[in-house]
Amino acid sequence: MNSVHSATRRRLIGGAFGTALAASLSTAVARPRANEVNSWDEEFDIIIVGSGFAGLSAAYAALKDGVQKIVVLEKMEAFGGNSALCGGLMCMPMTDLQKSKGIKDDPKLMVQDMIKAGRGFNHPELCRTLAEKAHTAFPMLKECGVQFMDKVIRLGGHSAPRAHLPTNASGGGVVVPMHNWLKSHGIEFRNRVCVEEIVREGNEVKGVNVRVGYDWHDDTDRGMKSLRARLGVIVASGGWGQDREFVTATMPAYKDLECTSQPGATATMIKTLLGNGALPVMLDMFQLGPWASPDEKGAGPGSFFADYAFGEGVAIDPTTGKRFMNELADRRTRADAQLAVLAKGSAEKPNYPFTFCSEETTSHAEGFKAAYREGTVKKSETLEELCKLHGVTDIKALQAQIDEWNAIVAGKKEDPFKKPLDTKTVLKAPFYSMRLSPKLHYCMGGVSITPNAEVVDFRTLKPILGLYAAGEVTGGTHGMDRLGGCSSVDGLVFGQIAGHSAAARRR
């Protein structure tokens, strides 16, 4: 008889994504399992939990090291997690593409940027490892068939343009080709498999107990199985931004914030890791996305367009008609500045800050067409229309702000906010604008890992044998806040490291 597990229903925030990737799970009914494992239902060399950037990279690295029997487990119907939904921006210094553009950059500069954004709370070795090995992700992605745009752009808080974009400007442009390449090379993928327990004997992880046929809508399954991992278990399950209960328990101030994550971003695996003795790092720290809008669900195409509006336009406080921040500062700085503007409003009369740019910017801004079609981005033919749209009463102040910006672009005035100008675009009608409201975007904390992606035991402060982690489920690399385009690289870099580390146990 099938077992059924009851729990709080997860909040649905949109339809299924990437369903073309969904693989069939065995129809055989699994027998119920006790916590102690006397025998294993199946055995693998490496078990990977999570199918986003980190999990795919781990599979790639282990495969390259000669490991053959690898399985990637995904609890949702489709593969990719948040990685499939993100914009796909990857900040990698010293790639061939960046060098071909004549951009001066190096890992030390990226480390400086990361530490500044992280307010100095970064774990130095992890931060350096990411920056120094970021470029290694580029050839891996190309080998897996990822296509890149012929440009490298600058994101907020970065001292140089180092963000690489897949040709379709989405995480799906990375996840889909990687998934297909790995599958064609013998990697097994199983969806609707929820890891219930990590099986640990002494200081060594032996495998996992899983719920098969898992349905996240009502938290039911078709039974339990025990899977052995001869070399190791790699946890690449991502964050838990959609777990309102866990977020509230760790950071009550964020309990009512909308989240940009997919519905499967719950605290199941972080709780499992902590229960197995993993050392926690900054579990109460979360990043807010300053490019988010109240006019779209989660992080839609408007959030991508906002990066261009920030770079080539300005952000305005409606109550003053003036700029209030460096639009290319790090995310925490911008989110805090926006929250201060929002605080001037009320529930009855909100005061949403907004960003706007000229039509010239829209011609090359990814996300614009979809955001405009969906109504997140709106067109104003005149300055008067723009003011009316966003409730700006001091039209002269906004006109003066536009005049000042155009003087900055012309090199006649220094920007008081010190924003770097990679593209100098004059602000003129018609204008394209969107409202801003920060959303919970990334879990800064997680479990502690070594530079070799080994999970650290809180009792001994030594690695737990056979247990590795990579990506958002880990903490420390980015400190209190991270830069845009770095979470993807975090997963790609430490995913590879985890795969190599697990594979090395064969020796």
CB 295 within 8 A of CB 378: no
228 membership: H or E segment, kind and range: strand 223-235
- Which amino acid type is present at position 162? R
User: Is the dihedral angle over the CA atoms 272, 275, 281, 282 positive or is it negative?
Assistant: positive
- The one-character DSSP state at 368 is H
Beta bridge partners of 136: none
Q: Find, among 492, 501, 498, 504, the residue nearest to 130 by Cα.
A: 492
Helix extents (H) in 22-136: 53-64, 81-85, 96-100, 107-117, 124-133
- Give rounded-to-5 percent helix, strand, coil for the chain: 35, 20, 45
Helix extents (H) in 134-217: 137-143, 172-184
Beta bridge partners of 208: 198, 227
Q: How far is CA 199 from CA 34, 38, 47, 493, 499, in A?
A: 11, 11, 12, 26, 19
In this structure, the strands spanning 286-289 and 439-443 are antiparallel
Whole-angstrom Cα distance, residue 334 to residue 317?
Answer: 13
Whole-angstrom Cα distance, residue 311 to residue 344?
Answer: 25
Place of tokens 């740019």: 357
Q: Find, among 72, 60, 86, the residue nearest to 487 by Cα.
A: 86
- Token pair for residue 124? 């130095």
- The one-character DSSP state at 171 is T
DSSP collapsed to 3 states, 382-435: CHHHHHHHHCCCCHHHHHHHHHHHHHHHCCCCCCCCCCCCCCCCCCCCCEEEEE
| Residue 371: strand, helix, or coil | helix
445 membership: H or E segment, kind and range: none
Whole-angstrom Cα distance, residue 272 to residue 207?
Answer: 13
* Residues designated catalytic: 331
